[in-house]
Amino acid sequence: MQGAPGGGVGPGPSPVDRWTLLVFSFILAAALGQMNFTGDQVLRVLAKNEKQLSVLRDLEGLKPQKVDFWRSPARPSLPVDMRVPFSELKDIKAYLESHGLAYSIMIKDIQVLLDEEREAMAKSRRLERSTSSFSYSSYHTLEEIYSWMDNFVTEYSDIVSKIRIGHSFENRSILVLKFSTGGSQRRAIWIDTGIHSREWITHATGIWTAKKIVSEYGKDSTLTNILDAMDIFMEIVTNPDGFAFTHSMNRLWRKNKSTRPGIFCIGVDLNRNWKSGFGGNGSNDNPCSETYRGPSPQSEPEVAAIVDFITAHGNIKALISIHSYSQMLMYPYGHSLEPVPNQKELYSLAKDAAQALYEVHGIEYICGSISSTLYVASGITVDWAYDSGIKYSFTFELRDTGRYGFLLPASQIVPTAHETWLALRAIMQHTLNHPY
């Protein structure tokens, strides 16, 4: 539905009621130390042509700190989702209407979803304390995840261990779980989640997947065959500083937390900081942009730690980087429209994996190269992996397609993780059966 001038659909709170709500929300946020998003909306715009896409890109450049693109302008066939602060809604809607751009409201008030999310976490935390158990169907803080890791590797020490591969900009440990049945420098699979800190469903999926691996080894013949021959490395919190910040201050923070002298804005998009295609289209040299690539390739310690580890290992055969949202399974390249040499194989494998995922809950995924399916993006993880000789490099965009966006309810954690597991297993099995 196209929005009415002035913002919103249907009757809303009176100005006095809204002002009271805003004041109360800001007081609550100050007490909790968290940013408040009362009245912020997520608008969906479908550009009809390249001219309208250009108008949206201009908006991205005009207000890089005001308009937060959840799905960036890419091509006319793809919707554009943007979070607009309450203070900017009237102007942004007028801008869209003046350029003939129809929009619909995907999320009417972001703070409502955030309040529901926090209450669900608090309820889960109370239950966990009373039962001394860890909930795989809830979202968790960095401290809770790292504590779970310690207990997890102790309980399943015969198959999983913990490796510190480096430290973040704010000196937090960067931890990787290693699943192995023995041997050294065996062929291996790398899985990372949470490189963009606000994508909480990815961390939760990683945690559930780790538990699935230890639970199913010896029972699931496919997984057993994989682990008997290969190791699996899993980095669940790829961006620990950003992730901690999403819990303490800004739930919608995307980048890491690095700072540089003379630059006011904080953070680098870690998925634009890799060497392959660095500095090209789909990244930004503006430090205030959500896709700021950083001053140089691998300038960020979180990226450098992975590069150093994978390079030193020398036998990683598949890399899978998990993001949200959009329900897509993609492969290189992101920085170029040129097909990779084994594109037919990657497309076929992606389709097989997406079919395995679909058979769980009927969730459909789109498959293809990143640049042709989503948008051109330079300096990304999977392009670097592929150019480093990792033939099977994939990226997931998990649920959903925009109803909740980055604020997927905890009730969807287990269904999302379950279906994703079948796709992951298909990729790992193919990697096992096609050595190189």
pLDDT tens column, 219-237: 999 999 999 999 999 999 9
Answer whether residue 8 is part of any domain: no
Q: How far is CA 195 from CA 118, 253, 369, 409, in A?
A: 22, 11, 20, 20
Cβ proximity of 199 and 241 under 8 Å: no
User: Are both 182 and 86 inside the same structural domain?
Assistant: no
Cβ proximity of 173 and 165 under 8 Å: no
35/87 Cα distance (integer angstroms): 14
**Residue 169 C-alpha from the chain's centroid:** 19
Segments forming the whole domain that contains residue 59: 15-108
List, in sequence order, every residue forming a beta bridge with 161; answer none if it has no partner.
178
User: Are both 149 and 75 inside the same structural domain?
Assistant: no
User: Are both 185 and 59 inside the same structural domain?
Assistant: no
Cβ proximity of 414 and 207 under 8 Å: no
Pair of tokens at residue 241: 């500083």
Per-residue burial over 56-81, b if 16 or more Cβ lie within 10 Å, else e, is bbebbeebbeebbbbbbbbeeebbbb
User: Are both 103 and 159 inside the same structural domain?
Assistant: no
Given a cut of 80, whether residue 211 has pLDDT beyond it is: yes
Answer whether residue 362 is part of any domain: yes
Given a cut of 70, whether residue 23 has pLDDT beyond it is: no
Answer whether residue 328 is part of any domain: yes
Q: Which amino acid would we find at residue 48?
A: K
Please tell me the predicted confidence (pLDDT) of residue 59.
87
Answer whether residue 6 is part of any domain: no
Which strands make up the sheet holding 80-84, listed edge to edge?
A: 68-71, 80-84, 41-45, 103-107
pLDDT class for 344, splitting at 50, 70, 90?
very high
Mean pLDDT over 100-116 rounds to: 97
Please tell me the predicted confidence (pLDDT) of residue 53.
94
Per-residue pLDDT tens digits for 142-186? 999 999 999 999 999 999 999 999 999 999 999 999 999 999 889
| 41-45 vs 103-107, strand pairing mode | antiparallel
Cβ proximity of 185 and 314 under 8 Å: yes
User: Are both 89 and 183 inside the same structural domain?
Assistant: no
105/44 Cα distance (integer angstroms): 6
User: Are both 385 and 429 inside the same structural domain?
Assistant: yes
User: Are both 150 and 280 inside the same structural domain?
Assistant: yes
pLDDT class for 66, splitting at 50, 70, 90?
confident
CATH of the domain at 429: 3.40.630.10
Mean pLDDT over 397-415 rounds to: 98
Q: How far is CA 84 from CA 63, 107, 134, 147, 334, in A?
A: 10, 10, 36, 36, 27
Please tell me the predicted confidence (pLDDT) of residue 29.
46
Given a cut of 50, whether residue 24 has pLDDT beyond it is: no
Please tell me the predicted confidence (pLDDT) of residue 291.
94
Mean pLDDT over 278-302 rounds to: 96
User: Are both 217 and 71 inside the same structural domain?
Assistant: no
Q: Which amino acid would we find at residue 56?
A: L
pLDDT class for 77, splitting at 50, 70, 90?
confident
Given a cut of 90, whether residue 13 has pLDDT beyond it is: no
Other C-beta atoms closer than 10 Å to the C-beta of 123 total 13
Mean pLDDT over 253-277 rounds to: 97
Among residues 71, 91, 108, the one where a domain terminates is: 108
User: Are both 176 and 89 inside the same structural domain?
Assistant: no
Q: Catalogue the E-assigned strands of 222-308.
A: 231-235
Q: Which of 67-76, 161-170, 248-257, 362-371 has the lowest mean pLDDT?
A: 67-76
Given a cut of 90, whether residue 60 has pLDDT beyond it is: no
User: Are both 206 and 152 inside the same structural domain?
Assistant: yes
CATH of the domain at 41: 3.30.70.340
* Phi, psi (degrees; rounded to nearest 5) at 202: -75, -45
Please tell me the predicted confidence (pLDDT) of residue 142.
98
50/245 Cα distance (integer angstroms): 36
Given a cut of 50, whether residue 18 has pLDDT beyond it is: no
Mean pLDDT over 54-60 rounds to: 89
pLDDT class for 63, splitting at 50, 70, 90?
low
Pair of tokens at residue 260: 């540089």
Answer whether residue 122 is part of any domain: no
Interaxial angle between packed helices 221-229 and 200-216, expressed in degrees from 0 to 180 and rounded to the nearest 10: 90
Answer whether residue 157 is part of any domain: yes
Marked catalytic residue, from 60, 117, 397, 419: 397
Alpha helices in 251-369 (DSSP H): 301-313, 343-361
Per-residue pLDDT tens digits for 359-395? 999 999 999 999 999 999 999 999 999 999 999 999 9
Answer whether residue 118 is part of any domain: no
User: Are both 331 and 374 inside the same structural domain?
Assistant: yes
User: Are both 99 and 206 inside the same structural domain?
Assistant: no
Q: Which of 5-14, 211-220, 273-282, 330-339 has the lowest mean pLDDT?
A: 5-14
Answer whether residue 128 is part of any domain: no
Among residues 108, 125, 153, the one where a domain terminates is: 108
Question: Is residue 170 annotated as a catalytic residue, yes or no?
Answer: no
Structural domains counted in the chain: 2
